[in-house]
A = this chain, B = another copy of it.
Amino acid sequence: MKQFDVEVKVWLKPSVFDPQGHAVQGALVSLGFQEMGEVRIGKFIQMTIAAEDEQAAARQVEDMCQKVLANPVMETYAFDVKERGQ
Contacts and interface: CB of A to CB of B under 8 A. Distances in A.
Q: How large is the interface on A (under 10, 10 to 19, 20 to 34, 35 or more residues)?
A: 35 or more
Given A44-B43, A45-B41, A33 B64 contact: yes
B39 A42 contact: no
Contact of A24 (B27, B44, B45, B48): B45
Interface in A1-55: 1, 3, 9-11, 21, 24-25, 27-28, 31, 33, 35-51
Majority SS at the chain A contact face:
strand
Contact of A44 (B27, B44, B63, B64): B44
A60 interface: yes
B50 A10 contact: no
A81 to B, nearest CB: 13
A9 B33 CA distance: 19
A69 B20 CA distance: 12
